């Protein structure tokens, strides 16, 4: 179900679907970072997963983040860089929310 949720949000094998939640996330991320979408950010992480269908195997599952996975590594690095917490609208919270069928975190 996680991969389908990512596709439904507009992150697809053929790219980000116009007018979708994915395009809104990409636009917001680009505005917040001065015009670009950074590697490792929510947009690039979700698009990679949408293109490859690897959400679940990356550790973002319907029951949470799997220990020892790529997702847990991303969460740990993000928490360290923010002084111990994972920010709303960051990569971890956005990817996990969308993989569970949510709308992602807003900045």
Mean pLDDT across the chain, nearest whole number?
86
pLDDT band at 68 (very low <50, low <70, confident <90, very high): very high
Residue 73, domain member (yes or no) = yes
Query: For residues 12 and 64, is the Cβ–Cβ distance under 8 A?
Result: no
Residue 15 phi/psi, 5-degree rounding, is 120, -175
**Looking at residues 70-81, what average pLDDT do you find?**
90
Q: Report the pLDDT value the prediction gives residue 69, as an integer from 0 to 100.
A: 92
Residue 98 phi/psi, 5-degree rounding, is -70, -35
Residue 105, domain member (yes or no) = no
Helix then strand count (H, E) for the chain reads: 5, 4
Residue 35, domain member (yes or no) = yes
Residue 9, domain member (yes or no) = yes
Q: How far apart are CA 11 and CA 47, in angstroms?
A: 5
Lowest average pLDDT, out of 26-30, 32-36, 100-104, goes to 100-104
Residue 33, domain member (yes or no) = yes
In sequence order, the 6+-apart residues with CB closer than 8 A to the CB of 104 are 9, 21, 25, 42, 89, 93, 94, 95, 97, 98
What's the domain range around 70?
1-100
Residue 106, domain member (yes or no) = no
Number of structural domains in the chain: 1
Residue 67, domain member (yes or no) = yes
Residue 88, domain member (yes or no) = yes
Q: Report the pLDDT value the prediction gives residue 107, as an integer from 0 to 100.
A: 47
Q: Report the pLDDT value the prediction gives residue 1, as an integer from 0 to 100.
A: 53
What does pTM read for this prediction? 0.78
**Looking at residues 59-72, what average pLDDT do you find?**
88
pLDDT band at 102 (very low <50, low <70, confident <90, very high): confident
């Amino acid at each position: 179900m996680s991969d389908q949720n990512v596709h439904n949000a507009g992150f697809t094998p053929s790219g980000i679907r116009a007018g979708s939640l994915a395009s809104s996330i990409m636009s917001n991320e680009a505005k917040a970072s001065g015009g670009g979408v950074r590697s490792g950010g929510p947009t690039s992480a979700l698009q990679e997963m949408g293109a490859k269908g690897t959400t679940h195997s990356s550790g973002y599952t319907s029951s949470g983040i799997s220990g020892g996975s790529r997702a847990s590594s991303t969460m740990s690095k993000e928490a360290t860089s923010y002084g111990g917490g994972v920010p709303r609208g960051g990569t971890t919270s956005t990817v996990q929310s969308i993989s569970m069928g949510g709308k992602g975190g807003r900045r």
